[in-house]
Amino acid sequence: MRLGVIDVGSNTVHLLVVDAHSGGAQPLPTSSHKIALRLSEHVEDDGRIADAGRERLAEFVDECLHVGEDQGVEELMGFATSAIREAPNGDEVLAFVKERTGVGLDVLSGPDEAKLTFLAIRRWFGWSAGTLLMVDIGGGSLELAQGLDEDPDVAVSLPLGAGRVTRDLLAGDPPSSATVREARRRVRALLAKEMRPFTKATNPDRAVGTSKTMRSLARICGAAPSSEGMYAARHLDRAVLSEMLPKLAAMTTAERQQLSGVSTARAPQILAGAIVAEAAMDLLGVERLEICPWALREGVILRRLDRML
């Protein structure tokens, strides 16, 4: 079966087309189509998504529909995360998209987002990985999960996405040292409130990071480039990240764009991603994260395939 999955995130809207089969076969990506919509920039003062953002989202979903048809997609699924679920008019936006395109987008809760991403990571590393700890930094939220099975024992979602932290806490280009310090303090204070379930849990055998932000951080800290393929071993060391963080804080957005592995769209947010990643690793007691190429989209696909059995 050829499946298409539309992922409406806070930074990008992404269509992934895969050849997927039940019975344990690996989903194989065949094409990808995305735009940097950055819904968080279309949020008004009252939290509502502006009409311009709603219109652009509907236009792109319609594009995805036509791309899927050209690619021979048999089933098209769509889901939205924090940008839609937290907007007071999120339901109105979804209804508008459905009316314009015929495509229904499911809104994932934060814990469901964490669980589906954890499922993808578990399938990628397999049972031999033992107890997994996951750190996933999106545009609007941070997901943490830990467990031995495919369904994690602990799943937490926090409003600490790289886009959100940039918008709310890191004004300036570059932000002042006082601004960065205050952002770091607030991120760590919010994270610390959620550490108890992880402190009580069994020590993980493997700690894993995923998301585009995490892959970009790993790259600027020395991990293999994307040209080496998805199976190249990649990791992010906390010591290296801690050393890189003040350098990122002193750079302008234009200077960050020159870093290997940092896209133009990701450059404004990479400092926030570094602050959140370092804080999570420190408070969770993690020295190194292995980088997983699979994340939420793959988790959604895998769950759909499980239901075919």
Q: What is the pLDDT of residue 309?
A: 55
Q: Which amino acid is at 210?
A: T
pLDDT of 59 higher than 90: yes
* pLDDT tens track for 130-157: 999 999 999 999 999 999 999 999 999 9
How far apart (Å, rounded) are the C-alpha atoms in residues 271 and 167?
12
Name the residue with higher pLDDT: 303 or 37. Answer: 303
pLDDT of 40 higher than 80: no
pLDDT of 289 higher than 60: yes
Query: What's phi and psi for 289, nearest 5 deg?
Result: -110, 130
Output the six-digit token pair for 175.
Answer: 């932000």
Q: What is the pLDDT of residue 74?
A: 94
pTM of the prediction? 0.94
Q: What is the pLDDT of residue 47?
A: 85
Query: What's phi and psi for 8, nearest 5 deg?
Result: -95, 100
Query: What average pLDDT score do residues 257-275 get?
Result: 95
Q: What is the pLDDT of residue 43?
A: 83
How far apart (Å, rounded) are the C-alpha atoms in residues 137 and 279?
12
Q: What is the pLDDT of residue 25?
A: 77
Domains and CATH numbers, the chain: 2-107 (3.30.420.40), 110-296 (3.30.420.150)
Which DSSP string corresponds to 148-211?
A: SSSS-SEEEEES--HHHHHHHH--SSSPPHHHHHHHHHHHHHHHHTT-HHHHHSPPPSEEEEES
How far apart (Å, rounded) are the C-alpha atoms in residues 255 and 196?
38
Query: What's phi and psi for 33, nearest 5 deg?
Result: -145, 125
Q: What is the pLDDT of residue 108?
A: 95
Average pLDDT across the chain, whole number:
94
Query: What's phi and psi for 184, nearest 5 deg?
Result: -60, -40
Output the six-digit token pair for 194.
Answer: 């959620």
